[in-house]
Amino acid sequence: MWLVAEDKHVEYAQEVFSIDQSQDGKKLSLLCPTSKQYRRGNSLNQPTLTIDIEAVADGIISVEATHWKGAARKLPNFELFPDGPPSVDASIKNGDAGTTISSGPIAATVSSNPHTFDIRFHSTDNSRKLTSLLDRSVAFAYSPPPGSMMQTGDARDFQHYILTQTTLGVGEQIYGLGERFGALNKVGQSVVLWNADGGTSSDQAYKNVSFWLSNKGYGIFIDTPQRVELEIGSERSCRVQTSIEGQRLKWYIIYGPTPKDVLSRYTTLTGKPNSLPAWSFGLWLTTSFTTEYDENTINGFLEGMRNRDIPLAVFHYDAFWMRPFHWCDFEFMASHFPDPKAQIKRLKESGLVSKISVWINTYIGQASPVFQEAADKGYLLKRKNGDVFQWDLWQAGMGIVDFTNPDACQWFRSKLDALFDIGVDTIKTDFGERIPTKDVQWFDKNVDAERMHNYYAFIYNKLVYEALQDRCGKDEAVVFARAACAGTQRFPLQWGGDCESTFEAMAESLRGGLSLGLCGYSFWSVDIGGFEGYPDPTLYKRWVQFGLLCSHSRLHGSSSYRVPWLIDDDDKTSQGCTAVLQKFAQLKCRLMPYLYSESLEAVKNGWPLSVRAMSLEFPEDRTAWYCDQQFMLGSKILVAPVFDESGEVEFYLPSGRWSSFWDASQTIDGPKWVKEKHNFETLPLHIRQGTILVVGKEGEKRTNYDWTKPENHEVRMYEPDGESSFPLCDPEGKLVAILRTTEDHGAWRVENIEVRVR
């Protein structure tokens, strides 16, 4: 609190000297000297900080702290309010407590006490205190400390930082910040928002999202794609410190009051996820990464899955569909795939699979002629001396596609179009994290290299997603993306990256998915069985159960295949890998009426479909905020994966009566911690009290079918009441009927009370 690092010099805003109010009543500008202004002479040779507070949308206020206003505003910037800025009910009032600016239900009050620095954020009706900026909470810093301010005339010798410290209340917990694999509650952690290809077992992350959610009913979005460092109760235990290198720092405080409300407003600011087609919810099978495969291998896998009655939706060609050292040149390896268009056509016509996916990235090895083509046309990132930026990381002599060049974007899209022409339906957009920042020059000279590092994931995935939309249709596009930053939730879906084949990594992956979902990502997947290593049958089957209850499900590994009969020597018993995969793949098909309805609600509001943190559904339950080994599948189904070889599992049921999906007569009243032991045919799967659940008929093997027809579904009731309802939507997203419960002579029954023309 008192001891500043030896290599830093910090200047804090000490008081609010003056307040300027905008004429439209939407903005305050605070002049904040770094010393108390007791007399006129105190204003000389003294830095100031300017703090702008603005009402930008109902429930959202922006705060921008600036040292030197003349610093250039560098690009790129996040695309905010992509659907257009909403209206705002803003006002500024002066009272005894100070000056208050309100933006719908949220307000900020600047204290009127002389020689103080005190800004409080609260609900407009003053019923809830959110957070605050108090003494020594907004500052800039130099490193190294200048001996004299004359030295800062040559700023090249110094790093300049700006920071804010919002108060962290008693019992307050912080969540989100992207797909993070450590403890779900971030209090006590130092977090760096900087995309890195680090796997799932460290504090590095592929998906750094500059948004965090508090259990106190608000969230904060940090409006910069550059490197952000956060000390979350870890430097000062009662504050969250946010710091960046630069002259200004802007963030938005977003009010709920519920966590669902916060996410809805946050995704209005940064963009809602798009909906996904029903076929994408089915099981995806890949070749795995470094395994040897060709057309015969693929046929063998697909025929093996069909013969074992395991429904597949997508087959994915991973990296080695291209020649070694040539990635990514978009050319099938002729020795293994002499006629890929004909092969893909045969696969689809045979009914073995309906959709095809291929792996790409934006790195191009110099062995490929495509590298020279891109280099000659100026489509690759360059060094400051004009050379193409190259290194031997990943592919020998690889270059990186420069998406700030519009011609490079069109060229890249032409390569994608060629894939679509041969029958490819969806793209796995791998990598995008290893974007250099030193000695690089982007085509767009207004772009700052530091800001491009994280932001590259946005422009990469946006380009591919929009290419798919143009070819397949707005709601038929699907990417399978690894890297992300704020806003990429608009281009679903994302998967968890390279996890190990262990129970610990399975739990790490779940924590990552929960954290990402708390940043407005509706859809998420994971490599079933783990990516690195060789899963034993027990782990594989437990991961199958977990993975088939995520929004999207993919079998994928690194150096070993993931078809079930190779995991356990084709055990044909009911406890074998094949039987377990068959059961849970078919279970997902049966759940599609529920899943698809819930997915439409999720994208409308910016909520996760699965995995959904318990706190979103039960925000008033303190225990729910701590649950990181279970999740909600939509709003009605609770899932508790088994993370132990013994089959034992302990999970928490919030208040209410919960019914087992496997046997509705088995009910448990919460709140309660429950211990159970499960064989491989089941896991804890419990339905919330008051639920009407529409599921497909027993034995359903499709995810894209007309489940609205009575002959294709069954209706279940779980402890219904007079408010139970279910919106039945068809696979195109149209509302067909609303099912509600009515009481009939002491018994409940379901009836259609509304039907719309399809």
Tell me the two tokens of residue 375.
Answer: 């280099």
Got the DSSP string for 107-137? EEEEE-STT---EEEEETTSS-EEEEE-TT-
Got the DSSP string for 670-731? EEEEEEEE--TT---EEEETTEEEEEEPTT---SSS-TTSGGGEEEEEES--TT-EEEEE-T
DSSP-based three-state secondary structure for 314: strand
Pairing of strands 363-364, 283-286: unpaired
Tell me the two tokens of residue 147.
Answer: 């001996």
Residue 272 is classified by DSSP as: P
Q: Yes or no: say if 317 and 426 are a contact pair by the CB < 8 Å rule.
A: no
Contacts of 153 (CB under 8 A, 6+ apart): none
Q: What is the C-alpha to C-alpha distance for residues 726 and 752, in angstroms, rounded to an integer?
A: 10
Cis check: omega of the bond before 369, within 30 degrees of 0 = no
Got the DSSP string for 165-220? EEE--TT--EEESSS--S-SS-TTEEEEE-B---TTSSS-BSB--SEEEETTSEEE
Contacts of 741 (CB under 8 A, 6+ apart): 692, 717, 720, 721, 722, 724, 725, 748, 749, 750
CA 600 → CA 514, 585, 612, 617, distances in Å? 19, 21, 15, 17
Annotated catalytic residues are: 430, 433, 498
Cα 340 from chain centroid (whole Å) = 33
Contacts of 208 (CB under 8 A, 6+ apart): 177, 178, 192, 193, 194, 195, 454, 484, 485
Instruction: Give the start-end residues of each E strand in 24-127.
Output: 27-33, 48-57, 60-66, 90-94, 98-103, 106-111, 119-123
Cis check: omega of the bond before 4, within 30 degrees of 0 = no
Kindly tell me the burial class for residue 101, based on how many C-beta atoms sit within 10 Å of its own C-beta (0-12, 13-18, 19 or more).
Answer: buried
CA 588 → CA 169, 342, 626, 680, distances in Å? 42, 31, 27, 16
CA 607 → CA 274, 467, 540, 680, distances in Å? 12, 25, 29, 30
Contacts of 744 (CB under 8 A, 6+ apart): none
Contacts of 148 (CB under 8 A, 6+ apart): none
Contacts of 118 (CB under 8 A, 6+ apart): 16, 98, 110, 111, 132, 133, 134, 135
Helix (H) or strand (E) holding 667: strand 667-677
CB atoms within 10 A of CB 644: 12
Kindly tell me the burial class for residue 285, based on how many C-beta atoms sit within 10 Å of its own C-beta (0-12, 13-18, 19 or more).
Answer: buried
